[in-house]
Amino acid sequence: MTATDGYAYRRMQMVEALVRLGIRDQRVLEAMRVIPRDLFVPEAYRHAAYSEDVSINIGEGQTISQPRVVAAMTEAARIGPDDRVLEIGTGSGYQAAVLARLARFVFSIERIAPLARQAKARLDGLGIENVSIKVMDGTLGWRALAPFDAILVTAAAPDVPEPLIEQLVDGGRLVVPVGARESQVIRVVERRGERCVTRDLQGACFVPLIGRHGWQGEPT
């Protein structure tokens, strides 16, 4: 992957903005300095790809989150180089690409097949090989591959989906926006044995998580 494309300067400016917003984890900043976010948005929106506060439509009624939200959630998940990470809501594949630079392996679940296919093609195109994408209801987690060191949910849940807590290792972190359909708070749940320690990070506005332990939605 090259950082010498036409957007390298814009990407560096985005990372500087993230630092001003309080992101401190150098590994997260490095990953976002390298992953070409412009390739994860429709061509017509590439000019906006490096605005830290802009989410962009990616088709099928879905959006790629603002870089500042990706950075804050990734930092909160405290990903180590040996971690196995689960993401719910592959969308464009950008968050998965960032996680792939930080973790040993990323498993990502998407419910809309065409988005999953496009995300896979983007990751393949960038030579990112440690991401596996599956089309299913991510609110159930990925039981066959559990437990995970960290789980990121990148769609808005009415409440913390119980199966995801069960699929964390002891000491594992779950980061999930919870609240109303229109606005949420990003919750960080850390599993400590049979207990959970919970804190709220910041407000957010995600598309709904649709599934058994999410919102009811129109079948796609």
Write out the catalytic residue numbers.
65
Interface with ligand SAH, residue 210, by CB under 6 A: yes
Q: Closest Cα to residue 150, out of 93, 217, 102?
A: 102
Residue 149 CB partners (closer than 8 Å, separation 6+): 79, 80, 82, 83, 84, 85, 103, 168, 169, 171, 172, 173
- Give the interface segment with ligand SAH, choosing from 19-27, 61-69, 175-183, 192-200 (CB under 6 A): 61-69
Interface with ligand SAH, residue 128, by CB under 6 A: no
- In this chain, which of 112, 123, 164, 189 binds ligand SAH, going by CB under 6 A? 112
Which residue bears the tokens 């929106």? 45
Shortest distance, position 16 Cβ to ligand SAH, whole Å:
21
Nearer to ligand SAH, 110 or 149 (CB): 110
- Give the interface segment with ligand SAH, choosing from 44-52, 58-66, 123-131, 191-199 (CB under 6 A): 58-66
Interface with ligand SAH, residue 132, by CB under 6 A: no
**Identity of the residue numbered 80:** G
Nearer to ligand SAH, 143 or 192 (CB): 143
Shortest distance, position 195 Cβ to ligand SAH, whole Å:
26
Distance from C-alpha of 130 to C-alpha of 202, rounded to nearest angstrom: 29
End-to-end CA gap in the chain: 34
Q: Closest Cα to residue 71, out of 14, 112, 4?
A: 14
Distance from C-alpha of 110 to C-alpha of 95, rounded to nearest angstrom: 12
Q: Scanning residues 147 to 176, which ones bind ligand SAH (CB under 6 A)?
A: 154-155
Could you list the residues that contact ligand SAH (CB under 6 A)? 62-65, 88-89, 91-92, 94-95, 109-112, 115, 137-139, 154-155, 207, 209-211, 214
